[in-house]
Each structure stands twice: as C-alpha cells, then as structure tokens.
Amino acid sequence: MTRRFAAAALLTAATAAAITVPAAPAQAACSGVTVIVDFGGGRVQSGCAAGDPGSGLAALRNAGFTFTFVPGQNGMVCTVNSVPDPCNGAPANAYWSYWHGQGGQWQYSDVGAGGHNPAPGDVEGWAFGPGKQPGAAPPAPQPQPQPVPTTAPPVPQPQPPAPAQPQPPAPGATRNPGQVQPGATPAEVSPVPAATPAPTAAPTPESTPEGRTAEPSASSEPVPANANAERAADEQGLPWVVGVVLLLVIAGMAAGQVWKRRRA
C-alpha cells in the first residue's frame, strides 16, 4: 500500500507540473508585428503578423488567431481561439485585455484594437482574466532594415584649364621686334629697323663670237640726273638759235640785192 500510494503521488505531481508549466512563446525574428496571447492557466502562444497590418485586430488575425465579438458590441473581443467557451457576453471578472509591448514592458492600451495601427516591429499582447497583463514578457523589438539609397554618387565635373601665364624670355634670346611684352615700358620696346635695299648687281660683260670680251655699251653706263636736265634745256634752246641764223641770212641776202641795184 505504501508503494502504491507513493507511485500515485508522484504521478499526480508530474501531471500537475505538466499542466501548470506555460509554453514559451516563439522568439523567432518577425518582419512584421509580434502578437502574444495569454489564454490563462499558464498557456501562452505567440504569432507573427507579417508586413504592416492596419489595426490590432488585423494583426491578431494575421498572426494565426481567430476571434469573435461580444454580441451586440461589435469591436469588443469576446473569444480568442474559442476561449472562453462559450462566450459569456461581457463578464465582469474575466475578459480579453489589450496591451502594447514597449521597452520589454507591457503597457495597457487606451484605445480599442480596431482603432490602433501597429507599426512593423511592434509587439501586441492579449490576456484573458481580470485585466492582468500577459504572463510572458514582450521580446525586444527587432530593428527594421533601412532602405538602401538608390541615388548615384555625384559625377565629378571637369575643371576648366587655368589660363596660360606669360613666360619671361630665356637668357640671351632675341625679343621679337614690334612685339610689346606685358608690362614693358615704351623705352623697352625695340624699334623696327627700316628695310635696306638690296645692292644692284653689276653688269656682266658678254663674250663676243671671237672670244673677246665686249666693251660695255654707252647705254649701260649710268647717266647722271643733271645731264638729262642739261640735254633737255639744250633741246629746248636749239630752235631759237636756228631762227636767228635764218633771219641773219635773209637780211644779208636782202642787203646784197639792194647793193647790187644801187651799183647797177
């Protein structure tokens, strides 16, 4: 009897321990909103509502839970996954309370689940009982990946070339006449020399058929400029001299005729 009593006591203790130990919520990373539901009696479940659900009710449904409203009070949750069964309407000592996880702590929601819009990375909590918070602590929010900027880096613009600076002439170099260097005074400007006429080549004596060198003709000799003037003057005075001589000859002939007549 003692052995049977001890075995029964151990079996009862093991069964009670199995009933009271709550199931640990899943801690896997969630890319949307994490939802933790405490059904009471140590039974806690969690789910992940992927994306960006539009309300707390949408997050509860997308995390894999079903719910119903209190009859005649649409928006007030009465059951989650058929707990309690049946729905007792609006019980005074046991109902579904709605929570938000912030910084590892639970904060009671001051608005209904239908009017709250959780953001990706938030943690939502539901607990059935006399307004107590869920039995599992909310996990730390997961950091959301930041969008990678798609703008291309600015393209470097080519710089305009610097203006060329005037270089001083090299030592011993001849400066170009007539070119004024920047900053030069009038005294430093080299005057442009006048063009010198090229020397006239002397006439080359031509060879004769007999092999003798021909003398240069008179026309090849240079004629002074004053000789041309004297020749022009002589040519202009020659008609007067000829006229005077003719008059003298005519006068002499007339005088001879007169003398002959007188003598006859």
pTM above 0.85, yes or no: no
Query: What is the predicted pLDDT for the residue at 182?
Result: 53
Q: Is residue 95 part of a domain?
A: yes
Q: Is residue 236 part of a domain?
A: no
Query: Count of domains in the chain?
Result: 1
Residue ranges making up the domain that contains 91: 22-129
Q: Is residue 117 part of a domain?
A: yes
**Distance from the Cα of residue 64 to its chain's centroid:** 51
Q: Taking residues 5-9, what's their average pLDDT?
A: 37
Q: Is residue 48 part of a domain?
A: yes
Q: Taking residues 248-252, what's their average pLDDT?
A: 87
Q: Is residue 246 part of a domain?
A: no
Cβ pair 61, 67 in contact under 8 A = yes
Cβ pair 23, 44 in contact under 8 A = yes
Cα(240)–Cα(76) distance, rounded to whole angstroms?
Answer: 156
Cβ pair 33, 122 in contact under 8 A = yes
Query: What is the predicted pLDDT for the residue at 45?
Result: 97
CATH number at residue 32: 2.170.130.30
Match 């006048």 to its residue by tokens: 194
Cα(114)–Cα(77) distance, rounded to whole angstroms?
Answer: 10
Q: Is residue 214 part of a domain?
A: no
Match 């003692």 to its residue by tokens: 2
Cα(41)–Cα(129) distance, rounded to whole angstroms?
Answer: 10
Q: How many residues does the chain have?
A: 264
Mean of the per-residue pLDDT values of the chain: 73
Query: What is the predicted pLDDT for the residue at 5?
Result: 36
Q: Is residue 31 part of a domain?
A: yes
The tokens of 227 are what?
Answer: 């000789």
Cα(131)–Cα(40) distance, rounded to whole angstroms?
Answer: 11
Q: How confident is the model at residue 246 (pLDDT cuts 50, 70, 90)?
A: confident
Q: Is residue 203 part of a domain?
A: no
Nearest CA to 83 out of 117, 44, 50 is that of: 44
Q: How confident is the model at residue 74 (pLDDT cuts 50, 70, 90)?
A: confident
